[in-house]
Amino acid sequence: MTAVLERPATSSRSSRSKARRKRSFATAFFLAPMVLVFACFSWWPIIKSALLAFQQTNLVDPAQFVALENFSNLFADPLLGIAVRNTIWFTALALIFGFPVPVFLAVVMSELRRGGGLFRVLVYLPVAVPPVVAVLLWKWFYNADYGLFNSVLGVKLPWLQDTNWAMPSLVLEATWAGAGGTVLIYIAALTAVPNELYEAAESDGASIWRRIWHITLPQLRGVLLLMLLLQIIGTFQVFTEPFVMTDGGPEDSTVTVLLLIYRYAFVYGDYGMAAALSVLLAVVLGVLSAVYLRATRTWSAS
**Region 155-168 average pLDDT:** 91
Tell me what the pLDDT averaged over the chain comes to: 86
**Region 212-239 average pLDDT:** 88
Q: Which of 89-98, 198-207, 285-294 has the lowest mean pLDDT?
A: 198-207
**Angle at which helices 116-128 and 166-190 cross, to 10°:** 130
pTM for the model stands at 0.84
Q: Which of 75-84, 110-119, 168-177, 220-229 has the lowest mean pLDDT?
A: 110-119
Give the dihedral of Cα atoms 93, 96, 101, 103; nearest 10 deg. Answer: 130
Count of residues for the chain? 302
pLDDT range class, residue 5, cuts 50, 70, 90:
very low
- Extents of the domains making up the chain: 69-301
10-14, 108-112, 236-240 — most confident range: 236-240
d(CA 219, CA 197): 10
pLDDT at 236 over 90: yes
Q: Which of 50-54, 125-129, 252-256, 264-268 has the lowest mean pLDDT?
A: 125-129
| Residue 115 exposure: Cα atoms within 13 Å on the Cβ side | 5
Q: What does CATH list as the number for 69-301?
A: 1.10.3720.10
Phi, psi of 65 (to 5 degrees): -75, 125
